[in-house]
């Protein structure tokens, strides 16, 4: 079966750095997405990785290793507004999105 694993919840301190991991087992791979979802709001696109390596976008970076079936989202200089759920999703060989259950990130002052 297809599976995406990510931690259920993480806590970090304002101003610090946090890394949210995502591991996947899917039938084929055509890219990995990270979305952010604030409570009561729509998920919004953060990043897309299809090749190995690090993609940096401001305070957020996303890393992919296809050989290890592994990705992480790195958030630097954490702000209170970064408190949200972070969803990892992989596009399989049929271009279907397989979703993780999301990681709830709690930022403390």
* Cβ-based burial of 7 (10 A; exposed 0-12, middle 13-18, buried ≥19): middle
- Nearest distance, CB of residue 27 and other proteins, angstroms: 15
- Nearest distance, CB of residue 24 and other proteins, angstroms: 12
Angle 10-47-102 (CA atoms, 0-180°, nearest 5)? 35
Nearer to other proteins, 14 or 41 (CB): 41
Going by the DSSP 8-state scheme, the letter that residue 82 receives in this structure is G
Going by the DSSP 8-state scheme, the letter that residue 101 receives in this structure is -
- Nearest distance, CB of residue 45 and other proteins, angstroms: 5
Nearer to other proteins, 84 or 98 (CB): 98
Q: Which residues bind other proteins (CB under 8 A)?
A: 4, 8, 30, 33, 35, 40-45, 48, 87, 89, 91, 94-102
Nearer to other proteins, 41 or 77 (CB): 41
* Cβ-based burial of 107 (10 A; exposed 0-12, middle 13-18, buried ≥19): buried
């Amino acid at each position: 079966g297809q599976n995406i694993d990510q931690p259920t919840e993480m806590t970090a301190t304002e101003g610090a750095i946090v890394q949210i991991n995502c591991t996947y087992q899917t039938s084929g791979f055509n890219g990995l997405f990270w979305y952010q979802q604030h409570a009561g709001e729509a998920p919004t696109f953060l990043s897309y990785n299809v090749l190995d390596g690090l993609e940096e976008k401001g305070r957020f970076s996303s890393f992919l290793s296809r050989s290890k079936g592994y990705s992480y989202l790195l958030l630097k200089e954490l702000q209170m507004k970064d408190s949200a759920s972070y969803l990892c999703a992989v596009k399989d060989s049929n271009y279907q999105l397989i979703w993780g259950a999301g990681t709830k990130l709690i930022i403390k002052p």
